[in-house]
Amino acid sequence: MRKIRIALLILLGLNSRLSAQEMPENRLQKSEIEQVFLTHNLALMAQRFQLKQADAAILQAKLWPNPKISIGEVNLWKNSSSEEMPALIGNYGRYQQVAVELEQTIELAGKRKKRVQLQLLEKENAQLQFEELLRNLKYDLRSQCLELQVLQEKERLYANQVGIFHQLTQSYRNQWKEGNVSEMDYLRIQSESIAFGNKLNEIQQERIEKMNDVARYLGAKGKAFSIVDSIGNPAFIANRQNEWKVMALDNRGDYKIIHNEFKKGQAQLEIEKAERVPNLDVSVNYDRGGNIMRDFIGLGLSLDLPLFNRNQGNIKIAKLELEKNKVEIEQSRIDIEREIDFLSARLSNLESSLKATDNGFDGRLAIALERYVRNFQERRLTIVEFIDFINNYMENKESILERKAKYLQYGEELSYLVGKDIIQ
């Protein structure tokens, strides 16, 4: 029985190790995550089908209307007034009458060409919508990755504190048992250790949740991973406010879409104007035994007379749509420039705050932590002094981290507003 239990334990251990090997946590750079996103994101894959649909719509717009054939005046029997005619097939058809007509619609005023032009603009719109979707998804993905990086940094920060307080708790437990320290001091250290452990667990839960948020962007490749890149000192962005505004108007997909809507409105107006001209129907007909000629072949033309309906209402609608598009273009331009102005102000303000912080401050904090831990272990500091320093240390470390992350976030937001990567 004991051997069976040992065998089962070995098998379970092997199975757990195999499972761990099958599902390793990948360590990826942000650039690798973005590459997976571009290749496997399902929303982008679906949007690419719309581009193919736009090509199919252009093909459809180029097609001519189908000709129409009609067969009529076919008699199923003969009466006393029937005249005998040559047979159609064998002995059949000597008293058979039939009329056949072939009709073709010819669109005038370049309607088909104008519809093709509209579909070309629709394809351009689909391409711009794809670019706009990509811009939005990339911004969301990068923001989520940055938040994940912050959580990873905080996890390392709190894990370090948990390790320090775990050692101190073990040491103080032994000292308390030997009567060298009071139970109150031991419990104070233990409570701080528990508090840091709880905080670390909260951060780990947030990190797992954020990892899941990032993985949603990666389609089938979205599995457990961590980001290798750390949050260092950000490269400050030179304030080129006017240049950014010009770049935004040249690159922003949503702004281009509004301009393209105006072009589509112009093309639609041309179509509506062309609809004032009626189409021409050309026909060729054959009539056997239905006229003074036994085999009659004739030509025909038909054309609507535009006396009442000259498409006035639709033309007016198209003109009003153009006026609305002009207003939307101007409003979009104002919004883009205002957003860049406000973001530039936020960037400058935060940049001043980061520059005011001594570059060596972060390193000196790390050295001070080592000294305080050592002095506390050597009883040169009281618990109150040590914990007060730890709280101050953590507050400063988190503040520095969050300000750096905020500046990087502003950089990503700037790239999003401009429609082009500003931070390389």
Predicted local distance difference test score (pLDDT) of residue 424: 59
Predicted local distance difference test score (pLDDT) of residue 177: 87
What's the count of helices (H) and strands (E) in the chain, helices before strands?
A: 10, 6
Amino acid (one-letter) located at 263: K
Predicted local distance difference test score (pLDDT) of residue 8: 31
Contact 280, 315 (CB under 8 A): no
CA distances in angstroms from 104 to 68, 115, 270, listed in the order given: 6, 19, 24
Length of the chain equals: 424
Angle at 226 between CA 221 and CA 229, to 5 degrees: 115
For residue 285, the cross-strand partners are 101, 298
Predicted local distance difference test score (pLDDT) of residue 97: 87
Which parts of the chain sit beneath pLDDT 50?
1-24
Tokens of 131: 């670019």
Tokens of 52: 């193919």
d(CA 323, CA 170): 77
Half-sphere exposure of 413 (CA within 13 A, CB side): 15
Tokens of 395: 């507050």
d(CA 225, CA 339): 34
Contact 323, 310 (CB under 8 A): no
> First-to-last CA distance in the chain?
64
Predicted local distance difference test score (pLDDT) of residue 231: 86
Q: Give the predicted TM-score (pTM) of the model.
A: 0.80
For the residues of 136-195, what is the DSSP string, one character each?
Answer: HHHHHHHHHHHHHHHHHHHHHHHHHHHHHHHHHHHHHHHHHHHTSS-HHHHHHHHHHHHH
